[in-house]
Amino acid sequence: MKESASSTASSIHVNIDSPSGFHMRPAAKLVQIASQYRSDIILECNDRRANGKSLLDIIMIGIAPRTGFTVSAYGDDAQPAINAIDDFFKRFSVDEAASEMIIAE
């Protein structure tokens, strides 16, 4: 995970409000999205860092339910990468809320 001073950087803060947290399925989808970009994608949570293109790294930092974390991108396509990741997390929140309502019924 290299971050050079000449890189373009962009980041977002994400809150996982779902009681099931940021589990394997959405983490795998994030890796799939991040891997479409040349930029380095870094997740930071509780002073721990993960390569956003590595499912194992993301799972190992342990993003618990009701936790916030930062996603940053460094590289020439950092802004489009962050935009795609931001869109994913907006959909993830809606999808998780809908699935929790279905389970509760």
**Active-site residue 23, yes or no?**
yes
Tell me the C-alpha distance between 99 and 94, whole Å.
Answer: 9
What sign does the CA torsion over 30, 33, 35, 38 have?
A: negative
Chain centroid to CA 34: 9
Instruction: Please provide the size of the chain in residues.
Output: 105
Tell me the C-alpha distance between 75 and 10, whole Å.
Answer: 9
**Residue that is written with structure tokens 């099931």 in the block:** 20
Residue tagged active-site, from 9, 11, 21, 23? 23
**Residue that is written with structure tokens 């869109």 in the block:** 87
Which active-site residues does the annotation give?
23
